Structure 1
Amino acid sequence: MDTEIRPASIDDLDGVVASTAALFAEDAGQRDPLRNRDWPSEYGEQWCRKLRSDPTALVLAAVGPGGVRGHLVGMLYDPSDMWTVVRAELVSMYVRPELRGHGVGGGLVDTFVEWARARGAASLQVTAYATNAAALALYQSRGFAPKSITLTAEVGATASA
């Protein structure tokens, strides 16, 4: 399957927002019922537009026949009083289910890693749901390793229908 991974253009915006919506639908549907599934339709376009103009952000589109097939959003953080090095975070990534296992996700992650290294990042971070074995395997195959664990207790909040 022919897929080009490149910085998202303004023409890719609708596709990146749709890809973000698919990510939210999958995560809210399978992994986190407290996540607002409507966030991408309410805020996704504004978020993507802002990120495209932010020099500390990376917005990638995986594009092929049929348009945007996946996306990745990364952020770069300068050293601070708390953090002594430049850091990068893979904030959001999604690949259409029919393309998983065909190198698209790996290509997105590899492009993010190259971007972060070229900007002096000494540390890369990604958060994935513990139940998303495929994502964990992908990230670990690219050199990411567990460093901390986030424990969550849902104490009375319920998902809205």
Structure 2
Amino acid sequence: MSQPNVRTAIAADLDGLVSSCAALFAEDAAERDHLRNAAWPATHGAEWCTGLLADPNALVLVATTGDEEVVGHLIGGFRPPSEMWTASRAELVSMYVRPAVRGGGAGGRLIDGFVAWARDRGAARLEVNAYAANENALRLYERHGFRRHSVQLVADAP
């Protein structure tokens, strides 16, 4: 299989995008956080993604095969300065690449697209959250210049 193309998502990608989000939830969030609703993408994913495609402060990229099948995605958001934040920030909200195409650079190209988008908007900081147990994702983000900045500690209520 040739390496996927990375491009901005369009409305015709909606089903594949929702499927990619659902795969991320199933593989990552639902496995690592028992409070996550693994069915959320099936119930709310199409509405969420449709809103993102129309949001000027959102980036939605897809990785596609030669026949335009969506095999990965990246969703980013831009936050302008505010009373609390002195500079703009861009957050990498969600990213997934199907296992069959991992290791060939699609994830890196998705991240590069996010970095360029954030830079074009003047973001002073790029942010991403990943589960501590997702060592592959952490390594990928670190290879692309992200560094560990804060630590979130959690405890289930007794």
TM-score by length of structure 1 reads 0.94
**Identity within the alignment, %:** 55
Residue 28 of structure 1 deviates from its aligned partner by 3.8
8 Å CA contact 2:6, 2:63 repeated in 1? yes
8 Å CA contact 2:3, 2:106 repeated in 1? no
Aligned to 2:71: 69
Distance of 1:149 and 1:29 partners within structure 2: 20
Deviations 1:106-144 (A, max 9, x none): 110010000000000010000000000100000000000
Aligned Cα root-mean-square deviation (Å): 1.0
Deviations 1:43-88 (A, max 9, x none): 1000011011110000001010460000000000000000000100
Distance of 1:28 and 1:57 partners within structure 2: 21
Distance of 2:9 and 2:103 partners within structure 1: 22
Deviations 1:27-56 (A, max 9, x none): 244211221001101110000110111100
Distance of 2:153 and 2:109 partners within structure 1: 30
1:83 is aligned to 2:94: no
Amino acid at match of 1:55: P
Aligned to 1:121: 123
Q: 1:141 aligns with which of 121, 140, 143?
A: 143
Distance of 1:75 and 1:109 partners within structure 2: 13
- Tell me how many residue pairs correspond in the alignment: 156
Q: 2:132 aligns with which of 124, 130, 133?
A: 130
Residue 146 of structure 1 deviates from its aligned partner by 0.3
Aligned to 2:48: 47
Aligned to 2:39: 38
Amino acid at match of 2:53: R
Unaligned runs of 5+ in 2: none
TM-score by length of structure 2 reads 0.95
Residue 95 of structure 1 deviates from its aligned partner by 0.5
Q: 1:99 aligns with which of 101, 120, 123?
A: 101
Distance of 1:28 and 1:76 partners within structure 2: 23
1:11 is aligned to 2:12: yes
Distance of 2:102 and 2:151 partners within structure 1: 26
Unaligned runs of 5+ in 1: 157-161
Amino acid at match of 2:45: G
